Amino acid sequence: MAMKERASVRVPRIIFALLFALAALFPLIWMLLSGFKMNSDVLATPFNFFPTSWHIENYIKIIQDPAFSRAMIITFIGAAIFTVFSITINAMAAYVFARLDFAFKRFMWVIVIGTMFIPNMAILLTSFIVVTKLHMLDTMLVLIVPGLASAAQMFFIRQFYLNIPIALEEAALLDGAGRWQIFTRIFLPMSQPAFVVVGVTSFMAYWNAYVWPIMTITSPGLFQIQQYLANFRVTRGPELALLMAGSMLAALPVILLVLIFQRKIIGNIKIAGLK
Amino acid sequence: MTTSNTDAGVAATNALSSTGAASAAPVEARTTDRTPRTKRHRHPRRDNLVAYLMLAPMVVLLIIFVIIPFINAGYLSFFNWSFYKPSEFVGFRNYVNVLEDPDFLGSIGRGLYFAAMVVPTGMILAFVFANVVKGLGKKLSGFVKTSVYIPTIISGVIASIIFVVIYDYSGGILNWFLGLFGVQPIAWLADPSIALPALAVPAVWIGFGITALIMLAGMLDIPDSYYEAASLDGAGWFKQMLFITIPSLKNVILYLLIAGFTAAIQEINLPLVMTQGGPLNSTLLPNLYLFNHFTQDTYQGMPIAGALLLFIVLGAISAAIFSILNSDKAVDG
């Protein structure tokens, strides 16, 4: 409302809002602090929220664990490759659906969008059969390739492309530019806001994946970070502070991504077509 | 597909775009109508070749990794199928078997109970949150929005690890906190009657941010003039909420309910990491049931049939509600 709120309304509003923020961040703050405790202190009675003594060496120790660092690096590389290819593939399809006219367009659209409604679990086993037949099991390929094409991502980029004025494109067409040139010279440079959102989503999906990696990756050398953490919890249960430090570091890349791109990501959370 | 995880937050984001998809038909019709009409005179040709070349990577990948597995799942669901033995056609027996399996039916019931705990809690909190944040200054609301969004991006594994330790019987922070009020320690994850509600808490924590931000976006879309007119007519805060905010948000709320419901009923990471479905199957949610059968059974026909049944039911619910939603919008103009 345009009217200025009275302090009696505004102050409780601010307090409530900060309480929401605190409640949301509390488990993470607690994880961060636990990473600084001694292993025996994480679950000590009486309970200490803050470490009684600060042990930054937990964070150093977990980084020096070769299995942890390798999992972090391998997952990061996989996620980066996954993100780049996923954006490229989905953006090309988005451009085609947004701007080109071609035979069986409607049919192709229905097929592609239809895949969005197939839950992972319905095809988990049969996807496993496919990657087995393609000899992809226990390679980085099995983590990257099967999820690259995403109708949801394509749809999001297409919505963005629909808003780019057609006049821009028609001028280029008159100048004799081909469709591919228009895509790479006009659309790609303008796509950054959409790519930030789908890029972060792709990176996150890869980084946070757990079920698919544990089904398809068996060599410890290829363990993904979530796999490593779940495994650590089972095999090295008592080293709780180390586990907390590792989990904190494993959460950091996605947290940083969101903090860096917060305005674009959070600004983009609306619902297309719903009002 | 496969690498996109089943995390509630991401599921919500994906479902977010699927809403758009459901309402895409009219948009699509409009653009295909318009584009050729303006171009027809100057560019009579269709861009078949370049369209198919640029579409090829996506379509080929979807065919190999989504469509073929999907069709194959439909096919195998009629067989007594195994990796190691020749398969045998059994007709609808897998479907009958899975529907007669008390564990499967139990997991569905548990999934509904889980969703009934997670979704309304998250929605009510999100509604309160959106109301609170709506009137805040830019800086503070930016900080608060980012704060509540961060849990949404945390992986199910990390959320599980955090909450397992929070719930620890003897040294966990939760029992310590309740102990301050004289409450005896509770075995949160070991008591079959409490384990599932205990999993609902991290599920709400993960899903809250995206729900709240969508709710807030919907709320910010309501024109100020509605409220101004109402307050001139003497309507108080409560009446404004009841007669303006909630009706204007009807579609957003409906959408969040469906997206939240389908995400909650498909939750797998939390029970898989925190409890492995125990104690006494009390946290065996449908997807975990299917996952366990996929990884442990010799014959896979039955879990495949179960997965397809779940897909049909969930898909039908979403489709039905989305079509109501769309027709409603058409009436509104």
Q: Does B178 touch chain A (CB under 8 A)?
A: no
pTM: 0.88
Interface probe for B, chosen from A124, A129, A150, A202 (most Cβ of B below 10 Å), is A124
B171–chain A nearest CA distance, Å: 4
Predicted confidence (pLDDT) at residue A39 exceeds the cutoff of 90: no
Nearest residue in B to A32, CA atom: B162
Place A5 in a pLDDT band, splitting at 50, 70 and 90.
Answer: low
Name the residue with higher pLDDT: A161 or B24: A161
- Put simply, the answer to whether B18 touches A230 (Cβ < 8 Å) is no
Predicted confidence (pLDDT) at residue A122 exceeds the cutoff of 60: yes
Sequence-distant contacts of B77-86: CB under 8 A, at least 24 apart: B77/B301, B77/B304, B77/B305, B77/B308, B78/B301, B79/B301, B80/B299, B80/B301, B81/B299, B81/B300, B81/B301, B81/B304, B82/B298, B82/B299, B82/B300, B83/B300, B84/B298, B85/B298
Residues of chain B with pLDDT under 70: 1-45, 321-333
The confidence score (pLDDT) of residue B17 equals: 38
Q: How many helices (H) and strands (E) are present in chain A, helices listed first?
A: 16, 0
Q: Does B44 touch chain A (CB under 8 A)?
A: no
The rounded percent of chain A whose pLDDT value lies above 90 is: 72
Which residues from B are below 8 Å from A126, CB to CB?
68-70, 72-73, 76, 304
Lowest mean pLDDT among A80-94, A194-208, A254-268, B281-295: A254-268
Place A16 in a pLDDT band, splitting at 50, 70 and 90.
Answer: very high
CB-nearest to A122 from B51, B73, B148 is: B73
The confidence score (pLDDT) of residue A1 equals: 44
B193–chain A nearest CA distance, Å: 24
Predicted confidence (pLDDT) at residue A103 exceeds the cutoff of 80: yes
B126–chain A nearest CA distance, Å: 10
Predicted confidence (pLDDT) at residue A147 exceeds the cutoff of 90: yes
Predicted confidence (pLDDT) at residue A38 exceeds the cutoff of 80: yes
Interface probe for B, chosen from A8, A101, A155, A268 (most Cβ of B below 10 Å), is A101
Predicted confidence (pLDDT) at residue A119 exceeds the cutoff of 90: no
Which residues from B are below 8 Å from A88, CB to CB?
57
The confidence score (pLDDT) of residue B8 equals: 35
Nearest CA to B185 out of A47, A236, A32, A238 is that of A47
B306–chain A nearest CA distance, Å: 8
CB atoms within 10 A of CB B35: 17
The confidence score (pLDDT) of residue B235 equals: 86
The confidence score (pLDDT) of residue B7 equals: 36
Strands B79-80 and B88-89: antiparallel
Phi, psi of A55 (to 5 degrees): -120, 85
